[in-house]
Chain A
């Protein structure tokens, strides 16, 4: 243990000033130069608080009580100040969009140097060096907000690279990225680490996606404590992940269903390194052949028929090109594709937020285009991605009642309806609470409730599970499936491949404004051409099937999903 650790926690604890209980208890671990560490855990486990402690937001921006010790390069952080720390720890925050400060890419990269009073010429030179390393040189004058998800990530990395930091801290780097971009982001993180030799700390709950690159250690947190600090291989063969409510990689779940017990020596952390022996493969093949045939898909009569929908934005961007699709009554449909492929525009056209230049839409045979936003809303509800953009009352009851009040229903009817919807959404105990007391996930449910109160026949949800951990993800999705079973047509716009596999009966894939595929989730994720074109990510199950010599990967994936659904239900 020759070298001194870059970061050293010793019995560290923290309690936010506004809270009754400490958020962190007895945290002890070291991070050495050049290590790649993943800190994982469910929402509210304290992993983001650890990040804030490392970059100095605790105690300098978020006040509270610290116990124990946290040293960065041998010095107590509380004696250092946030600015001194900013030269050592470079932080890439969760929401890349919101953290851009500069108007252009170049200014954003230069921001830290401006604050250091460097000369203008010197800054121009350094920015162009960094832009070259990150392949951003062609975009220096663009606004960061206009760039693609992957480029945005590189801009934020550039902004902290100017300081030659010793530690890169990534807070949920995969949130809001489409699957392929998420993979590129992980590869970028790996590349930066090799280039700079700095330590890398990644805070994420999407374990399988992070393990796309080699990780040295995973620190697993639960309720403010570290429950495990080990190599990813060791962690994956233990039972601790399931206890903490973190989802293990799908191929591991499949192996376990088949009766294979992976060992640490098989290196199960990454599908690329996983070594299966003849016996394991035989077990998996046997499970596949024994699994029941796929469940028959229902064919529903069409609820919404869309024909040749054409829409170009005022700035000349052609967002949808000749789109035709049918949405069946009572269907549960996923809409996937990379950022900017036209998914959200598609939803807005259906709701009447934008008007198509050409095309037809029939709702139960009635012409949708002749209806106003308000009239369409009586049939189709739209839940926006960010709940903060929808909530406009301070009390939960009022928020859910708003649509009914606007429709002029009497107060008795409103109360009955609102209570009923709140019960369905699991929000009844909170009915008299202010909205501000709720977590992000609960707010999301309030927005869903406020739409359900209007009794739509169809509901469109934009990223229903973004930013939710596995437990909340399961909660929300099971809830939607319940609603679907009771007859509601559900359309989900999503980047989450698990969601699409597990909860959609059918998926349409958007690419550059067109629908390029309309099939089951399993079929799409085992079709390399579509995966590539739409920036999706093959499921690891596909590689597992391949390794075991199962030629019909689609059927393997479908059987796994069906089986998993029965087991988890």
Chain B
């Protein structure tokens, strides 16, 4: 049974941060990592991310599924870049140091390798942070802090419910898919990819049907207990912002400021060692 998203309850400094500040840092961190091609900076972010990961006391084994999935996407991304643009690095860095040639136009240049390294670093610097956010953020507490940041509580609560139902829905998908296989829909590796995707799509209907039943029941249950009565609501899991939260957000802002300043001073988003 594969679980991709899951909150893992544990005691750590990362868990103690409010969900909203973690969310803010995640967004700022991702903006910084996505916009820049400053390789040393990306290396630093990756190392910092891994350190934070170990501070959170989440074990790699617990998020294995998500790691494997993103690694696969990363690999695919790199292969596609190379297939369609083997000279991308040359174009960007404005120089060409050929190491060897595979076949025809597929040469391997230092510049292309650096470009691929950048792409890989973008993944390695952001993915741990996304996993970290999902694994260390209690959905209810996240809703509470989003609400505190001014997000309408109905939307905040909907987000929390959605996060909570992700594991349930995964379990249900698994059960439904097994019962479909028992009726002769082959979804194992024996079948070709296209047919497997079509088979997976056929599970969507029962999943939606049972999901809608559940939405109906939960909506009534919420209303019967007064959800939506007032303009505001309080939160059992509500937590106050601490100075550490503020520091984290300031740090996130600084990351974005750094990448912006670097691009302006350097004249380009790319760190170019070939000049």
Contacts and interface: CB of A to CB of B under 8 A. Distances in A.
Interface stretch (B46-54, B71-79, B97-105, B219-227): B219-227
B236 interface: yes
Top 6 nearest A-B pairs (CB, nearest first) are A406-B184, A115-B226, A99-B221, A110-B236, A403-B183, A377-B182
A376 B184 CA distance: 10
Given A101-B225, A384-B175, A374 B182 contact: yes
Interface of A: 55-57, 60-61, 82-83, 86-87, 91, 93, 95, 98-104, 106-107, 110-120, 123-124, 127, 141, 145, 159-160, 314, 348, 351-353, 372-374, 376-377, 381-382, 384, 386, 388-394, 402-403, 406-407, 450-451, 454
B236 A114 contact: yes
Interface in B217-249: 217-230, 232-238
| Chain B, interface SS category | helix
B240 to A, nearest CB: 9
A174 B230 CA distance: 34
Contacts, number: 156
A378 to B, nearest CB: 9
12 contacts: A60-B223, A82-B224, A93-B221, A93-B224, A98-B213, A98-B217, A114-B236, A115-B226, A115-B233, A374-B184, A377-B184, A389-B206
B183 A120 contact: no
Interface string B183-205: 11110100000000000001101
A406 B185 contact: yes
Given A83-B226, A392-B206, A384 B179 contact: yes
Interface in B161-192: 161, 164, 168, 172, 175-176, 178-186, 188
Contact of A388 (B186, B210, B227): B210
Contact of B203 (A127, A372, A392): A392
A103 B183 contact: no
Contact of B223 (A82, A382, A450): A82
B186 A120 contact: no
B214 interface: yes
B59 to A, nearest CB: 14
A91 B235 contact: no
Contact of B225 (A104, A115, A386): A115
Nearest to B188: A372
B220 A120 contact: no
B222 A101 contact: yes
A117 B176 CA distance: 40
B125 interface: no
Given A103-B140, A384-B179, A392-B206, A98 B218 contact: yes
A388 B234 contact: no
Contact of A107 (B178, B217, B230, B236): B236
B221 A107 contact: no
B139 A103 contact: yes
B220 A93 contact: yes
Contacts of B226: 83, 86-87, 112, 115-116
